[in-house]
Amino acid sequence: MLAMTSDFHGESRKSAEIHGALVRIAKTGFSHVHWCHEWTGSYVYSVYEMLQIREWCGELGLAVKGVHASSGENNADLKHYVSPNEYNRLAGLELIKNRVDLAHLLDAEAIVLHLDLPWQRFEAEKDYRDHFYKNTQKSFDELESYCTSRRIRVCVENGIIPPAHTRYMFDTLFSRYNNDYMGLCFDTGHANIMCGENRLEFAERYNDRLFMIHIHDNKGKEDEHLLPFTGSFDWEGFAPVLARSPYRFPLLVESSYREAGDDTAWLEKAFLAGSRFTTMTQKYR
């Protein structure tokens, strides 16, 4: 078993192109897909679009591992679940609920969500961090019953954020919410950029919360989304850490094909790389 992101070759909104990408994922041998289309911005899925996705996946024999939810507009003063404007905050919350509905309809395990911290402002303004987390927790409090009633877990992803701020974020959230509701999505590429030699820190520190992963590689400088084993991430070190977590297979490859033209050969390489790391991890279970 192995999962691939739906947007591995871009985020077309054309039905034929989205369906074609799913066909190629299935033909390569992937058993699951991680739905990543519209993972940012304020696009709202109609129930009929959700049904179309479910039908496509059913016809192709693809199960859905998770849904990458959108946290809203890049500017938190617009539609965003941490917006200081109450109506914009509620609109952002409504957007996340839309993705929870999609995940529920697709029988996925979880949604993945970014919490992009304004950490520079935290350091510049003494009281702003407390204000930010109070507003953020208000949204997560209101979202909790909606998710748990649908058996969809929220997995917050480690981002391109300094480790100290990321650590405070997870400590704050995980001390408030239980693991039936909230977990970690460990992104190997982001950890490789931000954490240096301590790139496995979050996977180890929050191991009991590790329910989703994004596996991809880079050379430690840019978020390149390379195939596993083609950058500098410590795959040998990560395998036993992942193996002792509650993560449920399949593994999820979040690499990207950024060239024009046929992606068949690249998908085959992605499948081999993901399968290689699956074997490495299973060795420790």
pLDDT tens-place string over residues 225-268: 999 999 999 999 999 999 999 999 999 999 999 998 899 999 99
Q: Which CATH code for domain 3-282?
A: 3.20.20.150
Residue written as token pair 């590689």:
217
d(CA 160, CA 42): 21
- pLDDT tens readout for residues 36-64: 999 999 999 999 999 999 999 999 999 99
d(CA 187, CA 245): 15
Tell me if 186 sits within 8 A of 198, measured CB to CB. Answer: no
Question: What pLDDT score was predicted for residue 190?
Answer: 97
> What local confidence, expressed as pLDDT, does residue 75 receive?
66
The DSSP code for 80 is B
Residues of the chain with pLDDT under 70: 75-77
Place of tokens 């074609």: 20
Q: Is the peptide bond preceding residue 240 cis, with omega within 30 degrees of 0?
A: no
Alpha carbons 112 and 211: distance in angstroms, whole number: 10
3-state secondary structure of 198: helix
**Residue written as tokens 């402002």?**
121
In a 13 Å sphere around the CA of 189, the CA atoms on its Cβ side amount to: 20
Cα distances from 285 to residues 11, 134, 280, in angstroms, run 35, 39, 10
Give the global pTM: 0.95
Q: What is the C-alpha to C-alpha distance for residues 31 and 99, in angstroms, rounded to an integer? A: 22
Q: Which residue has the tokens 């449920």?
A: 248
Of the candidates 231, 258, 192, which has an alpha carbon nearest to the alpha carbon of residue 8?
258
Do residues 18 and 37 make contact, with C-beta atoms less than 8 angstroms apart? yes
Query: Residues 68, 112: contact at Cβ < 8 Å?
Result: yes
pLDDT of residue 76: 61
SS3 call for 245:
coil
Residue with tokens 């999820």: 252
For residue 126, the model assigns a pLDDT of 87
Question: Up-side HSE of residue 260: CA atoms within 13 Å toward CB?
Answer: 0
DSSP label at residue 3:
E
pLDDT value at position 72?
Answer: 87
